[in-house]
Structure formats: C-alpha cells, structure tokens
Structure 1
Amino acid sequence: MNIIDNLLDRMIEFDQGAAKRIQHFIKVHAYAKMIGEREGMSGEELETLEAAALVHDIGIKPALEKFGSHAGPLQEKEGAPLAKELLHETGFSFEQAERVSFLVGHHHTYSQIDGMDYQILVEADFLVNIYESQYSSEAIKNTYHNIFKTEYGKWLFVQMFGAQD
C-alpha cells in the first residue's frame, strides 16, 4: 500500500460514521489530483497536495466536539496539529507534514495563497462545496472570478457549472 492509500484509509477510519465528510474529502482529493497533474505537478509536490486534500477537513470532528461548531476558523485551528501528527504517523517527511499542516490551517483563508498546492486545494474544495452546498448563481460567479486561477481548475469549473461571464 502506498503512502497516499494508507492516509486515505486512516482518514476513513478517523471520520467513521460520517459518510458525508468521507465522500467530501475523497472528492476534493480526486479534483486536487486531477488539477495538480494537469498543472504539471508530480513527485513529492503532488503527493503533498494529495495529502492536504485528504486531511483538509480533519478539524471538523474535534471542532464539533469542543465547540459545537465547525466554522472555518475552528476547523483550521483544530485541524492543523492533527494533520501534522497523522502525516508523521503515516510516514510523510517532516517538510510534507509541515506544509500540509499549514494548508489545513489556512484552507479557508483565501487572501494569502502562497503556492500552487494551496491554490489547487482551495479550487478543489470549492468545486465540491459549490455542488454540495448549492451556492446561489451570484456566489458561483463570484467564486469563479475571485478564486479560480489555474487553467484546468477554470476548465473544470466551466464544465460543471457553466460559463461565468
């Protein structure tokens, strides 16, 4: 079993009984991998993105348990250290665990995107969230124009939700 498959299984166990969360992170992972590959990522860079996509919402469960809410800032705060610990346990490098922890701790913060992995994670999460949360037409248009930057992410967006002129 490769390192990504091992992490996937660990996340499924972590969110046991929460089918919606499991399906969500599996879809985000699929879109992140697709976009990352089409945008030229490979090797450790792609592996780090895939790991971030799988664990990006790891903070939901502890946020709900501690605060009764899974608001974005609570997810980020609770999720970052958990993600780092899980990546260390599953054999990721120190650098990968640090980067994934940073991404988990900022994936609802759109004003400070500092790398292709961050950009793609945000785009993949939005592709899934728009569908799952049934965004309004105006919110869909604003998301396309304000968030999406990668060519393949934009292409996927248009295929899924139509042109956003």
Structure 2
Amino acid sequence: ARAVLSAVGAVDGASGQVTRRGTRLARLGLHPRLGRALLDAAPVVGARRAAEAVALLSEEPPREYGDDLGGALRTARRGGDAYSGRWRTEVRRLSGLVASSAPAEPEPVQAPGDDDVAGLVAALAFPERIARKSGGSYLMVSGTRADIGDGSALRHADWVAVAVADRPVGA
C-alpha cells in the first residue's frame, strides 16, 4: 500500500508523511490510483471527460457494456439503466471536486476522443498494465502477458491500457 501511495505522490517516499497532493487525493473519496488519474488527466482532457472515465473505473460496468472503455463511456452516456444513472451522479460529484480543488484549467483546444480519454485515464491509474501486442497476446510493462477475447473491439490494437485483468480459473 505504501508503494502505491508513494507512486501517486500521496506520501513522501523517504519520510512517509502525507503530501499536499495526498490530502487532495484523500478528499476525492477514490482509490488513490483513480484519484491520481483524475487529477492528472483533468488538465489534459478536461475535468468532465476525466471524471467520466474515472467514474467508469470506480464501479465495474455491466458486462453488456463490453471490455472497451471508450465504447463503455459512450454506452454509459446514452444508457437509461441503473448503472448509467449512478455513473452520471458520480461524474457530477467528481467533476465538482476537481473544479473546487484546483485552479480552473482551460478545456483542451482539440477534444480527444473517448478511446484516447479512456486509454489515458487507465494508463495513469495502472501504468504497470500498459501493454503492447506481442504475437497473439499482449505484454504488460509489469512483464505479465494478457489475452484479449476474440470478440473484443480491442483485439487488433497494437497498444492497450488494461484497467481490469482477470485470471483464468486454475491459473
């Protein structure tokens, strides 16, 4: 836990003391990895877009949303189910927290697409899970190999940022 807190800048690595950033992260009410992604992505993609992706990662979406975070963002935006209602509430909460906890950042001149936003936020939250296609699988920065399901929209991507990785039963 201390390594994660140090990696996201929440505690000073040498002294173990909470940093100013750590206090901001604590006020977000998120896992430190997701808080870091929100704070670091907001100046790049805008507070609302960062909040949308983080809210998606903070509560696992229904399986029918798929494994592509960009696609899941689009589904949550237009969805009328209970999950999308909770997601919208969390987006408003997180957007407000980012806006109130930092100087106002201008929205990006050219808004990135949902796939780029989702990839950036996932990579900021889980940098050890950035993966490059290698043969028929993906090799994460951590050294772990991962497979993507045959029906996935991500199957042919050269690079992916893995938000959730499940181990097969018995592995």
* TM-score range relative to shorter protein: 0.3 to 0.5
User: Structure 2 length as normaliser, TM-score?
Assistant: 0.33
Q: Which has the higher contact order (CA 8 A, sep 6+)?
A: 1
Q: TM-score, normalised by structure 1?
A: 0.34
Structure exhibiting the larger radius of gyration computed from Cα positions = 2
Higher strand share: 2
Query: Which has a greater percent of helix?
Result: 1
